[in-house]
Chains A and B, each alone.
Chain A
């Protein structure tokens, strides 16, 4: 049973891969640019509905938005996961080593945006960072930024409100991560880390042979990850947009403005409180939230809600409990939640 038969050297068809990616990009662009025309054709010509008809307007919104967001999502997630094949936490740890407070926090938050983050990776990552002697504050900047600035959320915001709101989200997420990290660093919380963390030695058993991925493998990996991420959220996107479309068509414009508008001071903390337990539904929540915005809910409140949904989650907290004592977890959640609430108020005041 010679396993030698599997030994054919796989020739990486790099050029062919680039051609495929370029072709896909062209198809993507054409599809993206004909969305409105197709949606109009289906609702107003094919089904003969009037634009003034609430059902027609809701249906048009739905038929336009679903493919638009799914296209944006697939395209952007592909690019991000491709970028991610170049960045590993092990590299990150080397980059961040020996950086001062401030610079370190900024870098950590920046890296947190692009690195893959799954809550089950939080513990090994935390141990690795602590063991490398990174200041606790820098580690926290990373831990805050990684989930808070969520690629799916970023793409959805971009798709539904344009680059300004997406940019605001990015910028305020970074700011919260940097300041929260610096603050937690100042508190001197080292004694609230579970002692076993300091006993674990990060080894180099089994020298890593991974670092030499070919372009072919990077593309392949990006396709696999994109399929996985989009596969996980598409249903939420469709549901979210459907609910959004219904509100868009049937709820009067200023319906929510009074209760949840700028002048309602309790709206922001309430939004954060509601957002924390709603984990992993980021993609489905944003379309709903977009319509809320449409109907007069203040932007700061909406952003705060969304950040609470993606940035603080129960599963992550439970997993972090393995390495942190409750006191530190409470401070972590408290600082981030306060940051989100302040951001919400800030935008409600200045916008």
Chain B
């Protein structure tokens, strides 16, 4: 991280099924499209996933906050969620 630039810390929780891959792709596309800098990590171990209290995958975690689970949000929603978390 350099200076004032805020880089969002994104985690995609999911064991690696098709939906998890789609969530990752959608998130990247949404944030790239909005020009929001981010760092994305995939969390695939069940113990780590469960630590977030998430029972339905795929889940999206932004700056250590679970913002969605069990669904793939629309891109506009991902951007909105990112902005909300960022300003919090």
Q: Residues of A at under 8 Å CB distance from B? A: 1, 3, 6-7, 10, 85, 88-90, 93, 116, 118-121, 123-125, 127-129, 131, 196, 199-210, 217, 220-221, 224-225, 228, 322
Q: Chain B residue with minimal CB distance to A81?
A: B71
Q: Residues of B at under 8 Å CB distance from A? A: 5-6, 14-20, 34-37, 46-47, 49-57, 61, 64-74, 76-77, 79-80, 82-87
A205 adjacent to B53 (CB under 8 Å) = yes
- Give the complex CA separation of A127 and B47 in angstroms: 9
A210 adjacent to B46 (CB under 8 Å) = no
A128 adjacent to B55 (CB under 8 Å) = yes
Q: Which residues of B contact A220 (CB under 8 A)?
A: 74, 76-77
Closest-CB distance, A76 to chain B (whole angstroms): 18
Contacts A200-B47, A203-B53, A224-B72 aside, 13 further interface pairs with beta carbons under 8 A come to A7-B83, A7-B87, A88-B56, A90-B56, A120-B18, A124-B54, A196-B47, A202-B51, A203-B51, A207-B66, A209-B67, A221-B71, A221-B73
- Give the complex CA separation of A116 and B69 in angstroms: 11
Q: Which residues of B contact A224 (CB under 8 A)?
A: 72-74
B67 adjacent to A210 (CB under 8 Å) = yes
Closest-CB distance, B73 to chain A (whole angstroms): 7
A118 adjacent to B19 (CB under 8 Å) = yes
Closest-CB distance, A230 to chain B (whole angstroms): 15
- Given known contacts A88-B69, A208-B66, is B47 in contact with A120 (CB within 8 Å)? no
Closest-CB distance, A16 to chain B (whole angstroms): 15
- Give the complex CA separation of A200 and B57 in angstroms: 16
Q: Which residues of B contact A1 (CB under 8 A)?
A: 5, 35, 37
Closest-CB distance, A207 to chain B (whole angstroms): 7
Q: Chain B residue with minimal CB distance to A121?
A: B56
B19 adjacent to A6 (CB under 8 Å) = no
Closest-CB distance, A275 to chain B (whole angstroms): 23
A-B contact pairs, 11 of them (CB 8 A): A3-B37, A6-B79, A85-B71, A88-B56, A90-B69, A201-B50, A205-B64, A206-B66, A208-B53, A208-B66, A210-B66
A116 adjacent to B74 (CB under 8 Å) = no
Q: Which of B6, B37, B51 contacts A205 (CB 8 A)?
A: B51
B50 adjacent to A203 (CB under 8 Å) = yes
Q: Which residues of A contact B49 (CB under 8 A)?
A: 124
A3 adjacent to B36 (CB under 8 Å) = yes
Q: Which of B16, B50, B51, B70 contacts A121 (CB 8 A)?
A: B70
B51 adjacent to A120 (CB under 8 Å) = no
A124 adjacent to B65 (CB under 8 Å) = no
